[in-house]
Amino acid sequence: MAVTVSNLAGRKNLWPWLLLAPLALYLALFFLVPLGQVAMMSVTEPRVGLDNYEKVLTGTLYRRVFINTFFTAALVTVCCLLVGYPLAYLMNHTTERRAMAILLLITMSFWTSFLVRTYAWMVLLGNNGPVIWLLATIGFADPPGILFTRFSSTLAMVHILAPYMIMNIYSVMKKIDPALIRSAESMGAYGTSLFRHVYLPLTAPGIANGSVLVFVICLGFYVTPVLLGSPTEQMAAGLIGHQIEQFLAFGLGSAMAIVLLIVTLIVLWIYSRRFGLDRLYG
């Protein structure tokens, strides 16, 4: 036993790589290779050249879809923040039991397949669903259709993505040293100024992490906007699917996918460069 351990220690540099190998191989085979194929298709289908990128970057339809995608992702992120921050705060400031109960509810929803949750929203918001019925009962003569609008898809995406935001913020809030708050109070900080000068900046890393996560996931969201959203306000992933399934435009779809990927990477890059808040407060 001792021999094995010292052997391992001796090859310290190799060992982590060995452990990583299966995953690395898996990723290479099933992620990088297909990704390469997509990149390849984007410049070869139907002809060799940058035609697809030209279309994606200059065509008004595509531009509108990209702008819409960004707008939706930003909207969903802000909504998640507005819902998530108070909830995380509540969890952190209530009794242990209640916090656990809330956590349980959130994780239960989180673990439910998002396809199931998407269909659940279809049932809830549909024309024969309880929401419309309620609206009609309280006096809307002709309740507006809620399903297949920006509202319904945003609502569902906020529901699906909020746990990411909540968990990120909650974990940061939980780690805040109570002595920091007490010392702020002893120095004369009350409610709003305490929040603005101390609590909010201390939770900023959680906000940044949660927001980037939600934003990036939202950029590539496919099922929910397709099933619940307005057909006239498509998001990028939906349009890509559309191109490939309906028009068999593999090249164009691939070019859009690559553009989306690059945009996502840029967001992540900016985040890690500018807002590496985790490290700043470390």
Partner 1 sequence: MKPYLQLSGVNKAFGDFVALDDINLDVEKGEFVTFLGPSGSGKTTTLMIIAGFEDATHGAITIEGQSLAGLAPQERNIGIVFQNYALFPHKTAEENVFFPLQMRGVKKAEGLRKAAEMLELVGLEGFAHRYPKELSGGQQQRVALARALVFEPDLLLLDEPLGALDKNLREAMQIEIKRIQKRLGVTTIFVTHDQTEAMSMSDRIVVFSDGTIEQAAPPLDVYHKPTTRFVADFIGESNLLDATIRSADEGLADCPILGQVAYRTEGQPRLHDGQEVALLIRPEHLKLSRKPLEECRHASMTVETIVNYGDNALVIGRKDTAQIRVRVPGADVVTLEEGDECHVNWTDHAVFVLEH
- The residues that touch partner 1, with contacts defined as CB under 8 A, are 177, 179-180, 182-190, 193, 197-198, 201-202, 204, 280-282
CB of 173 to partner 1, least distance (A): 14
Q: What angle do CA 118, 122, 123 make, to 5 degrees?
A: 120
Question: Taking the complex as a whole, how short is the minimal distance between the CB of residue 189 and partner 1, in angstroms?
Answer: 5
Closest contact distance (angstroms) between CB of 184 and partner 1 is 7
Rg (C-alpha) for the chain, rounded Å, is 24
- What Cα–Cα distance (Å) separates residue 73 from each residue in 30, 160, 236, 250? 27, 13, 11, 25
CB within 8 Å of 195: residues ≥ 6 apart: none
Least CB distance to partner 1 at residue 198 (A): 6
Choice between 29 and 180, CB closer to partner 1: 180
- Exposure string for 92-111, b = 16+ CB within 10 A, e = fewer: beeeeeebeebeeebeeebe
Residue closer to partner 1 by CB (options 38, 189) is: 189
Which are the contacts of 168, defined by CB distance < 8 A and separation ≥ 6? Answer: 206, 207, 209, 210, 213
With residues binned 3-state (H G I as helix, E B as strand, rest as coil), the percentages for the chain, rounded to 5, are 80, 0, 20
Burial of 116 (0-12, 13-18, 19+ CB in 10 A): exposed
The string of DSSP codes covering 265-276 is HHHHHHHHHH--
Spatial CA neighbour of 11 closest among 159, 197, 19: 19
Query: For residue 241, what are its two tokens?
Result: 């699917």
Nearer to partner 1, 172 or 226 (CB): 172
Cβ atoms within 10 Å of 252's Cβ, excluding its own:
25
Extract the tokens encoding 37.
């194929």
Cβ(281)–Cβ(205) under 8 Å?
Answer: yes
Nearer to partner 1 (CB atom), residue 44 or residue 171: 171
Q: Which is nearer to partner 1, 199 or 221 (CB)?
A: 199
Q: Which of 11/182 has CB closer to partner 1?
A: 182
C-beta of 181 vs 261, nearer to partner 1: 181
User: What is the nearest approach in angstroms of partner 1 to the Cβ of residue 169?
Assistant: 16
Q: Smaller CB distance to partner 1: residue 128 or 186? A: 186
Min dist. Cβ of residue 125 to partner 1 (A): 42
Please report how close the Cβ of residue 194 comes to partner 1 at its closest, in angstroms: 9
Min dist CB 280 to partner 1, Å, is 8
